[in-house]
Amino acid sequence: MLDFLLRLADPSTVGGNILIYAFVITCGLALGRIRLFGVSLGVTFVLFMGLAVGHFGFVPNPTVLGFLRDFGLILFVFFIGLQVGPSFFSSFRSGGLELNGLALFGILLSVALTVLFAFLMSGSIDLAQMLGVYYGAVTNTPGLGATQEALSELDYAGPDIAVAYACAYPLAVIGIIGTAILIRKVFSIDLAEEERLWSLHETEQNAAPITFYVEAANGYLEDRTIEVIRKVINRPFVISRRYNEAEGLVSPGPKTRVHVGDVLRVVAQEENKEAIVAFFGKERTDVDLTSEHSPVSRRIILITDPSVNGQRIRDLHLANYDGVNVTRVYRAGMEIFPYRSLHLNLGDRLVAVGPERALNRLAGVLGNQEKKLDHPNIISVFVGIALGILAGSLPIALPGIPVALKLGLAGGPLIVAILLGRYGPSLHLVTYTTNSASLMLRELGIAFFLASVGLAAGNGFADAFVNGSGLLFMGLGFLVTVLPLVAVGVAARLIFRMNYHSIVGLLSGLTTNPPALAYAATLSEKNSSAVAYSTVYPLAMFMRILSGQIVLLLFWTSVSG
């Protein structure tokens, strides 16, 4: 039976390659569920399972190994980018300068430690090997590849730096997660409270609209249309209902005229309430125009028609729907005020009020067929991935750098995905993917990536320990991993009073580490670390790729000598 299984796992066959991956991922995920001291590594354990299997010689075909590693990483970062894209730029304005400043500080500190250790250990390892340790310590595979290319251009003939990378990488994953746990213990952080504060901060940054009633007591308003009143006040608001004794309750449109004494139900952002109330003349807190017998209906309409994707609210021409008003837009769990310039996305849920027949007409235009969203738009996904690979492959020539810089297969797709998530609807590109499909592809991608890294590093990892350099690589790598992260984490908490979930995302993005982000996702049901991760990841990826080549440029004599 054992001989049969060994023949079946032959890496020269398609079935053998698939069987090896299936075994590593299955066992890794199963063992990753085991909790030690209240902590489980989750999908990260796939990496260690791959190391064990690779050590015993069950290594897939190198072509298959490289393809699944890179494709898995692309899938993971691409769907992370699509998820955080809509909020990426707003988060950069609100806290991105602090996050990226801390990330840059951490990168410079890790590079300085790498150079310092290379000179201190010059009798044991050279600078090139120390750069292998550095990239393993920050778990940056694209940077390792870029540095190997640079070394090739410089005719470096020393030991393969991938061995040092393989030794440093496993302990680096533990170091990143361990640093996050250490910060939580040192500052006695309550995860539930941190998540509540994070949600409160997000609510403040993306304030949901409020509803209130006003009475038209200003004589200027007599017989003015709502369209004219909105221009005079110059504040965004929606009047969803109007009541007076002569006409009763109606759902007004832009051309509806207001009379003194009318009671109006207004939807607006809280900061605009005072100005709106002051202009109309009086706030009413003793009325409710949403009774069951109201001739005005309220409905939530789902956008499922691709032709609506990217249109603005104004493009719906609501004035043609007999008094229909859109009062709110729900997107990705957020409640958004329906500005006339707001771009609509596939999957948005619109809260609309008005006559039943008019609401039915609007629902027909928007689609409102939930089953249509069950089928993800695969075309947009692969177009985005193709553009990401192209972006990552573009050479960036800088004066004095011996080889052109590249963002690689991780940085390119991530940046393109963020841009598509933010601007895709404006260009009428359908980037909507169901949450279940996105999670499935992300988990599949990270599992393939970790299994591939572990399987490839198995032999080199063991050989390094046989010749005695493995422990040295691991120890130096652990210091390069942990010391900058502790400094950044402490500074983020003490100086900037940063939320713990944002700190974990910062640390994961600083080390460009998808496994650490996968661990961070287990700390919060809202995946609150993803925004900080995506905010610093592009800068961190670029600087990691750049830093190795700059070190070679500045200290090449140490390598060649």
Can you give the pLDDT at residue 56? 81
Please report how the helices 161-186 and 469-494 are oriented relative to each other, as an axis angle in degrees rounded to 10.
40
Can you give the pLDDT at residue 320? 75
> Regarding predicted confidence, which is higher, 558 or 337?
337
* In the predicted structure, residue 291 carries a pLDDT above the cut 80: no
Beta strands in 217-363 (DSSP E): 224-225, 237-244, 248-250, 257-258, 263-268, 281-284, 297-302, 325-331, 334-336, 349-354
Can you give the pLDDT at residue 525? 66
What mean pLDDT do residues 33-39 have? 64
pLDDT band at 477 (very low <50, low <70, confident <90, very high): very high
CA distance 415 to 537: 9
Residue 264: both structure tokens together: 């109006």
CA distance 532 to 36: 27
Query: CATH number of the domain at 2-202+376-560, please?
Result: 1.20.1530
Can you give the pLDDT at residue 186? 93
Q: Could you tell me where in the chain the CATH 1.20.1530 domains are found?
A: 2-202+376-560
Work out the burial of residue 334: count CB atoms within 10 Å of its CB; fewer than 13 is exposed, 13-18 middle, 19 or more buried: middle
**In this structure, are residues 492 and 484 in contact, taking their beta carbons and an 8 Å threshold?**
no
CB burial of 216-226 (b: ≥16 within 10 Å; e: otherwise) equals: bebeebeeeeb
Can you give the pLDDT at residue 107? 96
Work out the burial of residue 240: count CB atoms within 10 Å of its CB; fewer than 13 is exposed, 13-18 middle, 19 or more buried: buried
The three-point CA angle 400-130-483 to 5° equals: 105
* In the predicted structure, residue 489 carries a pLDDT above the cut 90: yes
What are 172-210's pLDDT values in tens digits?
888 998 999 999 999 999 888 888 887 666 655 555 678
What are 299-322's pLDDT values in tens digits?
899 988 878 877 888 888 887 776
For residue 45, the Cα-to-chain-centroid distance in whole angstroms is 22
Percent of the chain scored above 90 by pLDDT?
23
Can you give the pLDDT at residue 483? 97
The residues pairing with 266 across neighbouring beta strands, listed in sequence order, are 212, 239
- The four Cα atoms 528, 534, 539, 545 give a dihedral, to 10 degrees, of 110
**CB proximity list for 236: less than 8 A, separation 6 or greater:** 230, 268, 269, 272, 337, 339, 340
**In this structure, are residues 244 and 284 in contact, taking their beta carbons and an 8 Å threshold?**
no
Can you give the pLDDT at residue 455? 87
**In this structure, are residues 446 and 32 in contact, taking their beta carbons and an 8 Å threshold?**
no
Can you give the pLDDT at residue 229? 92
At 416 the three-state DSSP class reads helix
As a whole number, the mean pLDDT across the chain is 82
Can you give the pLDDT at residue 533? 85
Q: Output phi, psi for 284, to 5 deg.
A: -115, 125
At 258 the three-state DSSP class reads strand
**CB proximity list for 38: less than 8 A, separation 6 or greater:** none
* In the predicted structure, residue 104 carries a pLDDT above the cut 90: yes
* In the predicted structure, residue 560 carries a pLDDT above the cut 60: no
Using a cut of 0.75, tell me whether the model's pTM lies above it: no
Can you give the pLDDT at residue 216? 94
Residue for token pair 């590849």: 145
Q: Could you tell me where in the chain the CATH 3.30.70.1450 domains are found?
A: 207-372
Residue-level length of the chain = 561
What are 390-441's pLDDT values in tens digits?
988 888 776 765 666 677 777 788 888 888 877 777 776 777 777 677 778 8
Q: Place domain 207-372 in its CATH homologous superfamily.
A: Regulator of K+ conductance, C-terminal domain (3.30.70.1450)
At 418 the three-state DSSP class reads helix
